[in-house]
Amino acid sequence: MIQDILITKLNIIKSDDGSVFHGIKSTDIGFEKFGETYFSFINRGAFKGWKKHTKMTMNLIVPIGEIRFNFIDLREDSQTFNERMEINLSVNNYVRLTVPSSIWFGFKGLADQNMLVNIASIPHDPKEVSEENKMELEFN
Amino acid sequence: MIQDILITKLNIIKSDDGSVFHGIKSTDIGFEKFGETYFSFINRGAFKGWKKHTKMTMNLIVPIGEIRFNFIDLREDSQTFNERMEINLSVNNYVRLTVPSSIWFGFKGLADQNMLVNIASIPHDPKEVSEENKMELEFN
């Protein structure tokens, strides 16, 4: 585990007409403030990363498919400095990941159709995102 | 059209690794405040409705499949009292519907897999929802 990343189990309300999947409420642990919600599809085998936000807290949910997330903590003042974390999110592990700013992350599509929802604390702003495509970090 | 329902065109940022679909920002027209985000799947041919919220403003988005929405305005002080509205949301008509409280609505799944996202102004509260399964309103 990495310090300050939260994993929160979410409910699925089953119905014959189509199930309802919980996301996040304003009263939930991990909710800070609302900036933007967007949907990021990622194809099987594709990898998006590495990125690091300097301001945004992310709340990540995977209601379709399966996505592997990798995190690395390079915050020098962190109790988990230099530690890594890997977790697969899917309907079978239906949780919300709350990720504070300053954590490096990347994610990979594992199923035929994969959708990530980010409920972010601030609107997208390219100026607060660091990207490092050639980061020497390898995950499978 | 029904008074106070907004239709806002949304962007899709295409990528070979998987596209990014916009949802809503805190600075967007139609955003009031954040209460809850949830995901409602609806099977092909299934219908969910009729419902009416007394407090919630809904922001409805369909990033997967195709869903037909029907609305009816029974607000006696509305300029569009007694009017109906039907609209299909899908990737091919990728818009956000902002629906104020007090509008009756129902929706039907049209594709094999259909997902509705609601970014709601208040958390779910069964006490502020009216339901009328036998409402004498027929849409196809």
Q: Which residues of chain B make contact with A133, given a CB cutoff of 8 A? A: none
Interface check for B137 against chain A (CB to CB < 8 A): the answer is no
The class level of CATH for B6-128 reads: mainly beta
What whole-number distance in Å separates Cα of residue B39 and Cα of residue A63? 8
Mean pLDDT, range B9-24, rounded to an integer: 98
Q: Per residue in A7-64, pLDDT tens?
A: 999 999 999 999 999 999 999 999 999 999 999 999 999 999 999 999 999 999 999 9
> What was the pLDDT predicted at A134?
63
What whole-number distance in Å separates Cα of residue A64 and Cα of residue A62? 6
> What was the pLDDT predicted at A137?
60
Q: CA distances (Å), B20 to each of A18, A65, B75, in order?
A: 24, 16, 37
Mean pLDDT, range B108-122, rounded to an integer: 98
> What was the pLDDT predicted at B133?
75
> What was the pLDDT predicted at A140?
46
Q: Per residue in B34-58, pLDDT tens?
A: 999 999 999 999 999 999 999 999 9
Binary contact (A42, B18; C-beta < 8 A): yes
Residue among A65, A40, A44, A42 nearest A119 (CA): A40
Report CA Rg, chain B: 15
Interface check for B111 against chain A (CB to CB < 8 A): the answer is no
Interface confidence: ipTM more than 0.90: yes
The share of chain B scoring above pLDDT 90, in percent, equals 92
What whole-number distance in Å separates Cα of residue B9 and Cα of residue B24? 11
Q: Of B11, B28, B37, which to mutate for an interface test with A (greatest number of A Cβ within 10 Å)?
A: B37
Q: Which of A18, A37, A43 sits opposite B37 (nearest CB)?
A: A37
Confidence band (pLDDT; 50, 70, 90) for B140? very low
Q: For residue B73, what are its two tokens?
A: 């305005």
Is the pLDDT confidence value at B25 over 80? yes
CB A72 within 8 A of CB A83: yes
Exposure pattern of B83-103 as b/e (b: 16+ CB <10 Å)? eebebebbeeebbbbbbbbbb
Is the pLDDT confidence value at B138 over 60? no
What whole-number distance in Å separates Cα of residue A26 and Cα of residue A29? 9
How many helices (H) and strands (E) chain A has is answered by: 0, 12
Q: CA distances (Å), A73 to each of A31, B25, B41, in order?
A: 21, 28, 35
Q: Per residue in A63-77, pLDDT tens?
A: 999 999 999 999 999
Is the pLDDT confidence value at B126 over 60? yes
What whole-number distance in Å separates Cα of residue A110 and Cα of residue A131? 22
> What was the pLDDT predicted at B135?
63
Interface check for A20 against chain B (CB to CB < 8 A): the answer is yes
Q: Which residues of chain B make contact with A114, given a CB cutoff of 8 A? A: 18
Confidence band (pLDDT; 50, 70, 90) for A133? confident
Domain ranges of chain A: 6-131
Q: CA distances (Å), B117 to each of A22, A91, A98, A123, B39, in order?
A: 10, 16, 19, 18, 5
Residue among B74, B59, B84, B64 nearest B140 (CA): B84
Out of A26-35, A74-83, B125-134, least confident range: B125-134
- Matching CATH number, A6-131, of 3.90.1150.10, 1.10.1060.10, 2.40.37.20, 2.60.120.10: 2.60.120.10
> What was the pLDDT predicted at B23?
98
What whole-number distance in Å separates Cα of residue A116 and Cα of residue A110? 12
Q: Per residue in A89-112, pLDDT tens?
A: 999 999 999 999 999 999 999 999
